[in-house]
């Protein structure tokens, strides 16, 4: 009875230990041991940022690290892209992606390892992505006894201009290399405290359309406006009316954005020009909302031109100057599986449900190229805890991604992301 009593007394403790997240295991210890070296790599990436399609130095560092870990490495895919393949017996093929490009942003962080390239900065955290990619490659190579299948790890160029994923696919990513059953990526977040993981089921990030409108008119002297048709006034009417596409024509429960970011017209204060130019970003999640917004833009531009008295030959001209970025979609089956795996490793308090965002990401191209596969992109919080606490979670008081002041808690991001990406890969490549 004494033995049974002791067991009964210890039972709650034993249950608690059994259900606690596995933080102090071999993976955690290995990543912790690797962090000093990884942080050196991170600081080097941050000091030497490279713009889209110019990621020569960054891709070389990633390629060398993957090759040293035992991967078969191919460079120059889609321009500066890296493809590293590790075959480890029969099983599925899993692709892990990290993007490499920086932004044309002047760094204002004051960090001792701030960018040394004038006007260029890793303001979106891709330096943490590349570093965690290297950490994950090392872990997956060291843990080959725990999984079976093929791991494809890619360093992708030109995410910021929405061209890198398509470039790699066009260059044979799914034909020259093992075609994945599952594609996985993460992105650091300026909307979550450092080390927290954000999961979205379904549509995660918006599709992005770039729309230009050339507004025509009849120019003349600013003193005689009655002899002209002022394209500035007409363009201003178009800008104002476009806002009703969201406020009055889109279901309030749907998501959409129509932003006029550029309004250009005129050369001198007393001259009414003959044309004005508008440049828009249009964002949506669902295809039907996107189509309604694009159709509405054309309808409003033409309608306002008719109201201004323009004839057919002077109707506004609408063009789409850049490649569209489709919305990013997390497939439900994989999302639930990865969420459960993360909760088991990190604890449920560090894994949170987050809402879709209207930013864009070309990671979606890997799923759209073959929608039979499973796909997920998740967030890794990057806001330093002291900053989060000081702002009380108010994002308006914190720098966002693409800000010259964005300085994530890089150590927390890289450590968490390396464990998360490794856990996601092990989960999908688990031995049967």
Residue-wise pLDDT for 90-134, tens only, equals 999 999 999 999 999 999 999 999 999 999 999 999 999 999 999
Give the list of residues 6+ apart from residue 161 with CB closer than 8 angstroms, or none. 52, 53, 101, 322
Q: Which fold has domain 207-319?
A: Alpha-Beta Plaits (3.30.70)
Percent of the chain with pLDDT over 70: 94
Q: What are the extents of the domains in the chain?
A: 21-205+327-428, 207-319
Contact 230, 340 (CB under 8 A): no
Q: Which of 158, 151, 139, 133 is nearest to 77 (CA)?
A: 158
For 21-205+327-428, the fitting CATH number among 3.40.630.10, 4.10.80.400, 3.30.830.10, 3.40.50.720 is 3.40.630.10
In which band, very low, low, confident or very high, does the pLDDT at 11 lie, cut at 50, 70 and 90? Answer: very low
Tell me the per-residue pLDDT of 67-79, one tens digit each, with 9 for 90 and over.
999 999 999 999 9
pLDDT value of position 286: 93
pTM: 0.90
- Check pLDDT > 60 for residue 5: no
CA distance 283 to 322: 14
CA angle, residues 389, 418, 140, in degrees to nearest 5: 165
């Amino acid at each position: 009875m004494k033995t049974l009593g002791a067991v009964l007394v210890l039972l709650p403790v034993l249950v608690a230990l059994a259900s606690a997240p596995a933080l102090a295991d071999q993976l955690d210890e290995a990543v912790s041991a690797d962090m000093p070296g990884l942080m050196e790599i991170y600081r080097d990436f941050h000091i030497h940022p490279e713009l889209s399609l110019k990621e020569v130095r960054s891709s070389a560092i990633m390629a060398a690290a993957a090759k040293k870990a035992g991967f078969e490495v191919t460079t120059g895919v889609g321009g500066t892209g890296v493809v590293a393949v590790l075959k480890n017996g029969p099983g599925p093929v899993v692709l892990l992606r990290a993007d490499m490009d920086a932004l044309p942003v002047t760094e204002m962080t004051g960090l001792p390892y701030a960018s040394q390239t004038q006007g260029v900065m890793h303001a979106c955290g891709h330096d943490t992505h590349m570093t965690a990619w290297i950490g994950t490659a090392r872990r997956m190579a060291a843990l080959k006894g725990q999984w079976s299948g093929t791991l494809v790890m890619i360093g992708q160029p030109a995410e910021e201009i929405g061209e890198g994923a398509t470039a790699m696919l066009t260059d044979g990513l799914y034909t020259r290399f093992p075609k994945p059953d599952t594609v996985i990526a993460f992105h650091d977040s300026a909307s979550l405290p450092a080390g927290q993981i954000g999961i979205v089921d379904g549509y995660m990030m918006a599709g992005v359309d770039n729309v230009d409108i050339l507004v025509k008119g009849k120019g003349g002297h600013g003193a005689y406006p009655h002899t002209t048709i002022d394209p500035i006034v007409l363009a201003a009417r178009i800008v104002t009316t476009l806002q009703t596409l969201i406020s009055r024509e889109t279901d309030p429960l749907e998501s959409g954005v129509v932003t006029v970011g550029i309004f250009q017209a005129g050369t001198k204060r007393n001259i009414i020009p003959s044309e004005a130019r508008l440049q828009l970003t249009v964002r949506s999640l669902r295809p039907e909302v996107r189509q309604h917004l694009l159709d509405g833009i054309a309808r409003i531009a033409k309608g306002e031109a008719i109201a201004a008295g323009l004839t057919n030959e002077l109707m506004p001209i609408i063009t789409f100057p850049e490649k569209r970025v489709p919305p990013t979609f997390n497939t439900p089956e994989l999302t639930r599986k990865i969420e459960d795996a993360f909760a088991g490793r990190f604890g449920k308090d560090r894994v949170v449900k987050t809402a879709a965002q209207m930013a864009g990401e070309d990671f979606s191209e890997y799923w759209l190229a073959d929608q039979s596969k499973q796909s997920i992109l998740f967030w890794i919080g990057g806001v330093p805890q002291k900053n989060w606490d000081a702002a009380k979670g108010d994002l308006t008081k914190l720098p966002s991604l693409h800000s010259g002041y964005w300085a994530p808690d890089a150590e927390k991001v890289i450590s968490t992301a390396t464990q998360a990406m490794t856990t996601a890969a092990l989960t999908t490549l688990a031995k049967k």
